Amino acid sequence: MTVSVERSKCGYCGACVSVCPTGALELMETWIEVSESCNDCRICVKICPVGALEVCR
Amino acid sequence: MKERYDVIVVGAGPGGSMTAKTAAKEGLDVLLIEKRQQIGDPVRCAEGVNKVYLKEYIEPDPAWISAEVKGSKVYSPDGTMVEMSEELSGAEVGYVLERKVFDRALAREAALAGVEVMVKTRATGLLMEDGFVKGIKAEYMGKQYEIMADIVVGADGIESKVGRWAGIDTTLKPRDMCTCAQYLMTNIDIDPDFCKFYLGNKIAPVGYVWIFPKGRNTANVGIGITGHMSGEVRALELLDEFINKHYPDGKKIEMVVGGVPVCGSIARTVSNGLMLVGDAARQSDPVTGGGIFNSMWAGDIAGKVAANAIRRSDVSAESLQEYEKKWRVELGRDLDMGMVVKERFTRMTDDELNTLAHSLEGVDLGSTTLIGLVWALFKANKKLLWDLRSIFIGIKEIESEVKKEVYT
Ligand SMILES: Cc1cc2nc3c(=O)[nH]c(=O)nc-3n(C[C@H](O)[C@H](O)[C@H](O)COP(=O)(O)OP(=O)(O)OC[C@H]3O[C@@H](n4cnc5c(N)ncnc54)[C@H](O)[C@@H]3O)c2cc1C
Ligand code: SF4
Ligand code: SF4
């Protein structure tokens, strides 16, 4: 499982990157990339100020 | 771009530009890289800053001053107002900046001091050798580069990876970060002389709404809530609710989202060949979320320490302790004190916030230092804030008063 980013919502602020315990997220410039190290903890989903992240199956 | 520099600074926010400028002025060969194509944009900030402090580091320029304010008005959940202004005589105490222009002005100052600046250049990792950071890996226009340096400074903001790459865990827990949303609004009725804050668990659970004036009928209207309160409701939804109620005719001309570290001082901000500065070092204030000045202040220290360490030909973690020690003496103390205050306020019910506001009627809250302000709050309502008593011990300015108020 991993996390998906709804790009039309994301404000590329990097808040999710700062809480990710596995370093799975990276703010490139105007988008977020998710790597395989995501462990589905959902912390990023919780803190995103706009709700742009979702766990996908 | 050269193959090697004395110092590479990652991130051209206020912390990075200040570090780079100071290091260059000390005679070092400095590279400053920024992954965005436009320094300062998009903004992740409410743009409020203490004017007196800022002037120590940069000559004020109307190009990046959006407004000047005399103080703050804080509203408790029942609408009781508490005013805080440095000089009730009317001197202005703060600027509301135009960060897009401000951040660029700082980068320009660094460039003019001799720093090489590269935009659209992202650090992707560190070069390591024998336990020392020896430079960075970077990506620019689709190509990978390896650039060497004696010292790397991570000034890469909230999303910092530089520290993690060097083995310093800067991951924030949800309760140690503030998740925020803001609009630049116009066509609204504002008080141009005051920043306003609205507290209350319904308006902003464990957080607050802010209104920072930016000229005629215009202001940054934003909200920050602690990360652990986010999920069921989100910062942006709560902000929309507040705006629908207070500014139904307001027009939104810009949207800002972001996170602020509110974790207090972290265990370590240096390692062999590496220093962290600003939000990357989690140096923002845990109570206010302010980090512009802190990052510049720390950056200036880091730039000087980099020069000292390189002159000593010793960039080990021990040598860079000079930075660690210097920033902790002043700022570290404030951050830790801020954490105690934050924890107490986090637990306050709306009724308690109201009681506290009522007990402040007629009290002079003129102090601009956090300790001075908290001391005034404490004296006004010792019962409610008794848990805070330990933070006043050993503070010189109020030593004799503390003896009287706390120990009798
Ligand atoms: C909504 C909100 C409101 C705020 N309001 C205020 C306020 O009113 N007053 C105040 O003082 N503070 C405020 N802050 C905090 C303030 O914005 C920050 O503390 C300040 O910007 C920190 O400066 P910095 O230089 O450490 O980091 P930043 O300004 O975040 O700069 C970091 C830079 O590093 C770049 N970067 C990151 N990773 C890399 C990489 N791998 N390679 C290259 N570049 C990279 C980023 O693109 C960014 O430009 C607010 C924050 C938010 C989110
Ligand atoms: S926290 Fe949300 S808005 Fe911010 S970068 Fe992550 S996904 Fe985008
Ligand atoms: S779900 Fe957890 S591990 Fe996965 S990206 Fe989000 S914070 Fe990181």
Q: Where are the domains of chain B?
A: 4-45+100-172+264-319, 68-96+174-261, 339-406
Q: Which two tokens stand for residue B192?
A: 């141009």
The tokens for B374 are 């908290």
Q: How far is the CA of B13 from the centre of ligand 1 (A)?
A: 6
Cβ-based interface (< 8 Å): residues of B facing A:
35-37, 42, 44, 120, 122, 157-161, 164, 170-174, 177, 179-181, 227, 230-231, 234-236, 255-259, 261
Bridge partners (DSSP) listed for residue B32: B9, B117
* Number of domains chain A is built from: 1
Altogether, the residues listed in chain A come to a count of 57
Query: Which amino acid is residue B44, in one-letter code?
Result: R
Residues A5-55 pLDDT 10s? 999 999 999 999 999 999 999 999 999 999 999 999 999 999 999 999 998
Strand partners, B130: none
Q: How far is the CA of B299 from the centre of ligand 1 (A)?
A: 13
Q: Do A47 and B159 touch (CB under 8 A)?
A: no
Residue A3: its H or E element: strand A2-5
Euclidean distance between CA atoms B63 and A46, whole angstroms: 38
Q: What's the predicted TM-score (pTM) here?
A: 0.95
Pocket of ligand 1 contains residue B104 by CB under 6 Å? no
- pLDDT recorded at residue B84: 83
**Which CATH number characterizes residue A36's domain?**
3.30.70.20
Contact residues on chain B for A13, CB-CB shorter than 8 A? 44, 158, 257-259
CB B213 within 8 A of CB B268: no
Spell out a b/e string for B61-95, using b for 16 or more CB atoms within 10 Å of the CB, else e. eeebbbbbbbbbbbbbbeebebbbbbeeeeebbbb
Question: What's the pLDDT score for residue B408?
Answer: 60
Beta carbon of A22 within 6 Å of any ligand 3 atom: yes
Angstrom CA distances, B86 to B13, B72, B253, B363, B373, stand at: 28, 9, 31, 13, 11
Ordered mean pLDDT values, 10 residues apiece, chain B (408 residues): 98 98 98 98 95 92 96 93 68 87 98 98 98 98 98 98 98 97 98 94 95 96 97 97 97 98 97 98 95 97 98 98 96 91 91 92 71 83 87 79 75
For position B141, what pLDDT does the model report?
A: 97
Rounded-to-integer distance, Cα B175 and Cα B251, Å: 32
Considering only CB atoms, B158 lies closest to which of A18, A46, A50, namely A18
Taking the mean position of all CA atoms in its chain, how far away is CA B295?
7
Beta carbons of A49 and B179 less than 8 angstroms apart: yes
Complex prediction ipTM: 0.97
- Taking CB atoms and an 8 Å limit, are B161 and A17 in contact across chains? yes
The answer to whether the CB of B46 falls within 8 A of the CB of B66 is no
CB B54 within 8 A of CB B293: yes
> CA B125, CA A3: separation in Å to the nearest integer?
23
| pLDDT value of residue B89 | 39
pLDDT value for B367: 64
Tell me the CATH number for domain B68-96+174-261.
Answer: 3.30.9.10
Residue B129 token pair: 């050798």
Label each residue of chain B as H, E or C.
Answer: CCCEEEEEEECCCHHHHHHHHHHHHCCCCEEEECCCCCCCCCCCCCCEEEHHHHCCCCCCCHHHEEEEECEEEEECCCCCEEEEECCCCCCCCEEEECHHHHHHHHHHHHHHCCCEEECCEEEEEEEEECCEEEEEEEEECCEEEEEEEEEEEECCCCCCCHHHHCCCCCCCCHHHEEEEEEEEEECCCCCCCEEEEEECCCCCCCEEEEEEECCCCEEEEEEEEEHHHECCECHHHHHHHHHHHHCCCCEEEEEEEEEEECCCCCCCCEECCEEECHHHHCCCCCCCCCCHHHHHHHHHHHHHHHHHHHHCCCCCHHHHHHHHHHHHHHHHHHHHHHHHHHHHHHCCCHHHHHHHHHHCCCCCCCCCCHHHHHHHHHHHCHHHHHHHHHHHCCCHHHHHHHHHHHHC
Which of A5, A25, A28, A48, when mutated, tests ligand 2's pocket best, judged by the most ligand atoms within 8 Å of its CB? A48
A26 has a chain B CB within 8 A of its CB: yes
Architecture of domain B4-45+100-172+264-319: 3-Layer(bba) Sandwich (3.50)
- Predicted confidence at residue B92, as pLDDT, reads 61
* C-beta separation of B324 from B341 below 8 A: no
Tell whether omega for the bond before B14 is within 30 degrees of 0, i.e. cis: no
B202 CB-contact burial (10 Å; exposed 0-12 / middle 13-18 / buried 19+): exposed
- Ligand 3 mean position, distance from CA B339 (Å): 26
A25 alpha carbon – ligand 3 mean position (Å): 7
**Domain region containing A47:** 3-55
B157 closest CB neighbour out of A14, A23, A51: A14
Beta-carbon contacts of residue B400 (< 8 Å; ≥ 6 apart): none
Helices B333-346 & B370-380 angle (0-180, nearest 10): 40
